[in-house]
Amino acid sequence: MRGSLAAALAVTTLVTPLVLVAATGSASAAPAAAARTPLVDFNHDGYADLVFSAVGGYEETTPGRVTVVYGSASGPDTAHAKTFSRATPGVPGDPRNGGRFGQETAAADLDGDRYTDLVVNGYDGKAVVLWGSATGLSGQGSTELLWNGGHVTAGDFNGDGKRDLVTVDFPRSDDPDNDDQGMLISYGPFTREGKAASTQAITTSRTFGPGGFVTGDITGDGADDIVSNHGFEEMAYGSKFWAGGKDGVSTTPKPLAASVGGAIADVDKDGYGDLIVRDIGNNFEDMPYQKGTILIKYGTANGPSTTRTAKITQDTAGVPGVGEKGDEFGSSISAGDVNGDGYADVAVGIPGEDIGSVADAGSTVLLKGSRTGLTGTGAQAFQQSTTGVPGVSEKEDKFGSQVLLSDTNKDGKADLTATAPLEDNTYADSGAAWHLRGAAGGLTVTGITSFGPKALGAPEKGVMFGTWLAR
């Protein structure tokens, strides 16, 4: 059952993804292609790695954890997964029931040693960096950052090739009458003590700060840009576009329609990153009951286009399924080139999709990029009732709560990881993940794998494995 409105909103907030896109190129009349997502590769072996958060419910009596599954020639290497929590030797802080360690994560090479590092947030203390190495992630030597919890996303906002972080940790004024809030850009490289090379504090609005970020190079100048989401209580306010550049992030934003989550990727291969977000209207309380709409604003040298835009729903020609109340099409969005044609494709989570008479079983849809942009042509849908997909569609599974496109087997084609945090196994709400390979024709169930926390040697009772996927 759907439960209370507060609970529904909590789940919606949890599964909003933040997707990163590499800034690959320099400012010129011919912008660099922006279709590739930075490789999450903790051991620098060329295979994309996966990180699953298992944070439990808000009143759960167990601490949160994150589990890394390394990529390999055959895809996710579940036999050598590693789980981290505040109880892991070397990780700062103490485990706390309901602390939700892993509530949000971000992956980036912060110290410039070519190994991806992992930033882990929670309610149980300051954010932590687990440093990558030739053997992958380890708790030993991990570092606390200076800020507590909050949203965090990585990017290269000044185009210098070093990875940076943007957070909602805005420095407060000593003036009690000044209630400005905003975002803090921490520019890399970082030291192993967690100190950034420099920082930039930007006021975004008064009385309410950003509710999340989407980053990527929309303008094609080689520096990542930022789209910030905003709201206060139940009201959703307009998102804002902040241009990155060689001197850092512009302090003069451009207004956008209200949105939540999304991705930036080049779906039409014109060299500009395109903004793909969930279009939510003006009220957060409506989100759990919406059919769901994704909004595409195509990239230009000046940012997201105001004239070349499109909307896609399950009622769009070619998109499998029918838009129904509570489907939440677009609750999770990720981009990557699944078929190797150079156009970024987009995975869309539909966690509220009913499969036959089974309510909220959940589904996913893959939308194909093309010369004309993102359309429903050739779209594919997968759920637990799809032939070849392990499992059975059950009430409240919420399959597709998180989706991620990344190349775990290094074949040049992005694979889909989809999660169902409310999947029941030995215990209720232990969660599970599915991994579908990319191929020339799109996603395929050939070689598909599925696993939950038990298969990875991690605790499973009520942990909601797959609440968040690092990117």
Closest among 253, 316, 21 to 154, alpha carbons compared? 21
- Number of Cβ within 10 Å of residue 142's Cβ equals 23
pLDDT tens for each residue of 363-396? 999 999 999 999 999 999 999 999 999 999 999 9
38: preceding bond cis by omega (within 30 degrees): no
In one-letter notation, the amino acid at residue 100 is R
Q: How far is CA 212 from the centre of its chain?
A: 10
Measured CA angle at 17 (ends 47, 128), to 5 deg: 70
Average pLDDT value over all residues in the chain:
90
- Number of Cβ within 10 Å of residue 4's Cβ equals 9
pLDDT tens for each residue of 45-58? 999 999 999 998 76
Bridge partner residues of 260 (DSSP) = 278
- Cβ contacts of residue 448 below 8 Å, gap of 6+? 388, 389, 390, 434, 435, 436, 437
Tell whether pTM > 0.85.
yes
How many CA atoms lie less than 13 Å away from 237 in the CB half-sphere? Answer: 16
Please give the Cα distance from 146 to 193 (Å, whole number).
Answer: 10
Residue 246 confidence (pLDDT): 96
Report DSSP state, residue 9: H
Closest among 153, 371, 187, 365 to 264, alpha carbons compared? 153
Closest among 79, 81, 73, 76 to 450, alpha carbons compared? 76
Rounded to a whole number of angstroms, the distance between the first and last alpha carbons of the chain is: 30
The pLDDT confidence band at residue 61, using thresholds 50, 70 and 90, is: low
Residue 6 confidence (pLDDT): 31
Please give the Cα distance from 182 to 209 (Å, whole number).
Answer: 5
The pLDDT confidence band at residue 284, using thresholds 50, 70 and 90, is: confident
Element spanning 8, H or E: helix 5-14
In one-letter notation, the amino acid at residue 328 is E
- Number of Cβ within 10 Å of residue 343's Cβ equals 21
DSSP 26-47: -SSSSPPP--PPPP--TT-SSS
What is the dihedral angle through the alpha carbons of 450, 451, 455, 456, rounded to the nearest 10 degrees? 120
Please give the Cα distance from 113 to 109 (Å, whole number).
Answer: 7
What percentage of residues in the chain have a pLDDT greater than 70? 89
Residue with structure tokens 């932590």?
128
3-state secondary structure of 16: coil
Residue with structure tokens 């997707």?
19
pLDDT tens for each residue of 112-147? 999 999 999 988 889 999 999 999 999 999 999 987
Please give the Cα distance from 350 to 137 (Å, whole number).
Answer: 31
User: Residue 213: pLDDT above 60?
Assistant: yes
Mean pLDDT is lowest, of 22-31, 101-110, 271-280, 390-399, for 22-31
Residue 150 confidence (pLDDT): 78
Q: How far is CA 235 from the centre of its chain?
A: 23
Q: How far is CA 313 from the centre of its chain?
A: 20
Measured CA angle at 49 (ends 45, 52), to 5 deg: 160
Please give the Cα distance from 425 to 45 (Å, whole number).
Answer: 33
